[in-house]
Amino acid sequence: MNAKDMGMFICKLRKENNMTQMELAQQLHVTDKAVSRWERGIGYPDIQLLPALSESLHVSVAELISCKKSLNYSNEEVTNIIHNLDVYKMESFRQDRKADKISLVCMIFVAACVYISGHGSIIGSLCIGAIFAMAVIGLYYLYYDNSTKRIYAFFSLLGLLLFIQFLIFMGMDYRWISYILILYIIVLLNMICR
């Protein structure tokens, strides 16, 4: 199941039913921006929305997941479609868990460096750590998610620039800044080498 294929299929069905993105969004109780993201292939609809989405578009859930209209699906095809959906959901969950762990480690490390150097309180240090974690998570998803690389590149760069700006504003010793940038480079190299 490909996000772009599913998005084109949803867009085609929506237009066949003479609906705008806003009308479809209102039926599903989501924003029109969510529908737009699905149609552009940036993300998938939540699995719990599939029955309502298929009903709104006048297709079965199996047709929606397989991205093609069909008169009949065998039990084996439906089972295969559901299995592929479960595999995708588990892989997405694993990726998100890994990103959470990476961001937590980076945030704690940076917060500890800032706090130990005496340039910030615990809360200030955690905020700076969170900004750095945003840059690292942007890098992580930049590497693993091919469909929305520009967005993640933007957040990674924005996070890194904000982070460096905060450290300079706080008058932090460049030695500490270099330690943290080395961590950033290590994370980047780790992602590239995989």
pLDDT of residue 140: 75
CA–CA separation, 113 vs 46, rounded Å?
39
CA–CA separation, 163 vs 172, rounded Å?
12
pLDDT of residue 18: 92
Superfamily of domain 3-66: lambda repressor-like DNA-binding domains (1.10.260.40)
Q: pTM of the full predicted structure?
A: 0.51
Which ranges of 41-74 would DSSP assign to H, the alpha helix?
Answer: 50-57, 61-66
- Nearest Cα residue to 44 out of 54, 52, 35: 35
pLDDT of residue 126: 84
CA–CA separation, 133 vs 122, rounded Å?
16
Domain positions in the chain: 3-66, 90-193
pLDDT of residue 71: 59
pLDDT of residue 12: 92
pLDDT tens by residue, the chain, 194 residues: 677 888 888 999 999 999 999 999 999 888 888 888 888 887 778 777 888 888 899 888 878 887 877 756 666 777 777 777 777 778 778 878 888 888 888 888 888 887 887 877 888 888 888 888 887 787 777 776 655 666 666 777 777 778 777 777 777 777 777 777 787 777 667 666 65
